[in-house]
Structure formats: C-alpha cells, structure tokens
C-alpha cells in the first residue's frame, strides 16, 4: 500500500534550503518516491500557514520511513536545520 510524505515548510534561509531540496530529491527518488505536489499554488484553509507544501508518494510506509532515516536523507536534512520551520508526516494510503 502506498504511503505519502506530507510536508509544510516556511523557508528562512533560501540558499541552505535549496541545497537540502537538491539532496533530498535524490534520496526520495532512490527510495521509490515520486513528488505529486511541490511548492505550487495553494490555499490555506486551517492551521499554520507555511509557504511551501509538498506531497511525495512512496511504494509503502516502510519505504517512506527508510528514506527519512536513511543516510542520504539525513545528510540532506542537515541543510534544512536552521533554514526552515517544517512539519513532515508519513501517512499510509487507503486501499
């Protein structure tokens, strides 16, 4: 069953976050992840407004989990620390 990363981000350091995004894309793709939405237009309906929103589909919850905790993504994540306010969750899809 597919699983999704849902991220909401407010970037505070564009240069550092750009490095994160480049490296994270490689890690996500390596784990079978595909972006379905990434930084496009949006309408905030409830909760905290974060100007970047992303949705990535993975083949399974395990693949999404392994991507996040894998060495490649953890290396990318170093560039996101102190460069953004982020919320990220993994959600399993329905069958």
Q: Tell me the pLDDT tens digit for each residue of 47-89.
A: 999 999 999 999 999 999 999 999 999 999 999 999 999 999 9
Q: What torsion do the CA atoms of 73, 30, 20, 6 make, to the nearest 10 degrees?
A: -80
Is residue 59 in a domain? no
CB 11 within 8 A of CB 52: yes
- The reported pTM is 0.92
Whole-number Å distance between alpha carbons of 30 and 60: 13
Residue 15 domain boundaries: 3-43+64-92
How does residue 95 score in pLDDT terms, banded at 50, 70 and 90?
confident
Is residue 54 in a domain? no
CATH number of the CATH domain containing 10: 3.30.70.100
Is residue 84 in a domain? yes
Total of domains in the chain: 1
Give a three-class secondary structure readout of 9-27.
EEECCHHHHHHHHHHHHHH
Is residue 82 in a domain? yes
Is residue 21 in a domain? yes
* pLDDT value for 21: 96
Is residue 53 in a domain? no
Cβ contacts of residue 66 below 8 Å, gap of 6+?
31
52, β-bridge pairs: 9
């Amino acid at each position: 069953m597919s699983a999704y990363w849902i991220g909401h981000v407010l970037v505070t350091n564009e240069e550092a976050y750009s490095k994160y995004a480049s490296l994270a894309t490689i890690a996500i793709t390596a784990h079978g992840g595909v972006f379905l939405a990434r930084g496009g237009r949006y309408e905030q309906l409830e909760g905290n407004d974060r100007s970047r929103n992303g949705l990535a589909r993975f083949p399974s919850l395990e693949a999404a989990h392994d991507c996040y905790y894998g060495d490649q993504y953890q290396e990318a994540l170093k560039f996101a620390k102190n460069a953004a306010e982020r919320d990220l969750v993994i959600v399993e899809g329905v069958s």
